[in-house]
Amino acid sequence: MPWPILNDSETERLTRAEVERQNTALQLIASENFASPAVMAATGSVFTNKYSEGYPGRRYYGGNQIVDQVEDLARQRVCALFGADHANVQPHSGANANMAVYQALLDPGDTVLGLSLDHGGHLTHGSPVNASGMMYNFIGYRVGDSDERLQMDEIADLAAEHRPKLIVAGATAYPRIIEPEPFRKIADEVGALLLFDAAHIAGLIAGGLHPNPVPYSDVVTFTTHKTMRGPRGGCILCTDDLAAAIDKAVFPGQQGGPQEHAIAAKAVAFAEAATDEFRTYAAQVVSNAAALAESLAAEGFRLVSGGTDNHLLLVDLRPFDEDLSGKEAQTVLDEAGITLNRNSIPDDPRSPFVTSGIRIGTPAVTTQGMKEPEMAEIGRLIAATLRNRTDEAAIKGIRNEVRQLCTPLAPYPDLV
C-alpha cells in the first residue's frame, strides 16, 4: 500500500526553517548541542517501529532479537565509558531518570538533600511544583553568599541535622566543578545514598575534564543530548546491587515501551564519546567557556562565582545595566540571532520568570568549530545587542553579523 501522504509540505517547510535557524544563528543554550549525522540517522531509523517492553532477553513482545543487541550495545558502551557496573539506557529524559531513581531508592515522604532550584538545581531536585518535591521531603542546600560556590561544610551540617536517605549532587546552572568525593564522605557520615545528576556535564566527564562521579556514587543519572552530544534522552548508571531495583523502577515503574530508535542513537553517541576527537571537543568546550567569560567580564558583566570551570556561564546583568532583566535580554538577543535563556542568579531579587541573569553555554558552538577568537566576537555581539536593545536597525545589523559568523561553520550545511 502507498503511504497516505507522500509529501507533507507544511512539516517539511518548518523543518527547513529550523535547519536555517540552527545553521545561521548562535545556539548558546547550555543544555543544547548539535547531534552528529550518525546520531540523527539512528534516531530516524526503523527501530522507531518496535515495541520492546522489558529488557534484553526478557521482553514482553516478540521480534526483539535485534533490538536486544542494540540495547545491549548501548549498555555495554556506556558502562565502559564511565566504568559503571550497570546501565539503564531506557529513560526518555533526565527527569524520568531521576524520578525512577527516587522510586527505586525512596518511599514517599523520605528526606532528600538537593541543590535548590533558585541556586542552580533542577526541577527534579525537589522543586515544590515538581513531583519530586510533592512526593519526597526535599531539603535544599544553597551556594555561599560571597563565593557563590557549593559549601560542603553547610551541606554536611544539613545532612547531620536532617539525616536524609538520599543526597543529590548535580546542577543545571552551576559553573564550577562539582567534586563527587566530598559528597560521598557526607553521605557515608549520615548513612545516605548518593545520586550524582551529571546531566549537564556527562560529556565533560567522558572527555576527562571533570571528575568521574561513578566510583563515588550509588547512582549517576545524565541526559544524552547535552554535552554528551547524543539524541534526546536519559541514562542511569548504578552499582550492581541496585541494578534490579533501578530497572524495575524505569520499567514498569515509570515508563512503558522504550524508544529503541533513541537507544540506538545513544549507542552511537557513546561510541563517539569514547574517541580522542571527543576528548579534544570536550576540552575546547571548557576553553571556549573561559574565553567567553573573559570577553563578557571585559564588557562589564558580572559572572556568578567569578568565572567558569565547565561549559556554562551564569551572568548577572545588573552591573552592566540595572534596568535590564534576563527576560528582556533573552528576547532581544533572540532577535539578533543569539539564542540563550534567562536564568535566576543566586538570591535573585526578580521572579524566576523575569530574572536578573542569563545562562550561556558553549557545547553547540564548539561542535560547529568555534574557538577562542569567535568567543571574543560573541561576547562583543552580546554586549552590543544589549546596549542597543531599543534600536531596531542596530539589532538587524547584529543579526547580519551573527549570520556571517555562523554560516561558514554551519552544523548542517547539507540539510539546507
CB of 310 to ligand DSN, least distance (A): 12
CB of 313 to ligand DSN, least distance (A): 13
Does position 120 interact with ligand DSN (CB under 6 A)? The reply is: no
CB of 380 to ligand DSN, least distance (A): 25
223 among known catalytic residues: yes
53 among known catalytic residues: yes
Judged by CB under 6 A, which of 52, 172, 284, 344 binds ligand DSN?
172
Does position 94 interact with ligand DSN (CB under 6 A)? The reply is: yes
CB closer to ligand DSN out of 23 and 227:
227
Q: Taking phi first (over 0 means left), then psi (-120 to 50 degrees means alpha), and beta for anything else, what does residue 179 get?
A: beta
Size of site (CB under 6 A) for ligand DSN: 4
390 among known catalytic residues: no
The number of CA neighbours under 13 Å toward the Cβ of 245 is 15
C-alpha distances in angstroms, 269 versus 114, 203, 212?
29, 10, 18
CA distance 187 to 388: 50
CB of 117 to ligand DSN, least distance (A): 10
CB of 199 to ligand DSN, least distance (A): 6
51 among known catalytic residues: yes
Does position 22 interact with ligand DSN (CB under 6 A)? The reply is: no
Residue of 43, 124, 221, 223 marked catalytic: 223
232 among known catalytic residues: yes
Q: What is the dihedral of CA 330, 293, 371, 312, to 10 degrees?
A: -60
Does position 96 interact with ligand DSN (CB under 6 A)? The reply is: no
Does position 31 interact with ligand DSN (CB under 6 A)? The reply is: yes
Give the CB-nearest residue to ligand DSN: 31
Joined grid coordinates for residue 176: 564550577
CB closer to ligand DSN out of 166 and 360:
360
Contacts with ligand DSN in 191-230 (CB under 6 A)?
none
Q: 314-318 — which CB contacts under 8 Å span 24+ positions?
A: 314/120, 314/173, 314/174, 314/175, 314/343, 314/345, 314/357, 314/358, 314/359, 315/357, 315/358, 315/359, 315/360, 316/345, 316/356, 316/357, 317/356, 317/357, 317/358, 317/386, 318/356
Measured in degrees and rounded to the nearest 5, phi and psi for residue 321 equal: -165, 110
Residue of 20, 53, 68, 334 marked catalytic: 53
Residue positions annotated with a catalytic role: 51, 53, 197, 223, 226, 232
Q: Site residues (CB under 6 A) for ligand DSN? A: 31, 94, 122, 172
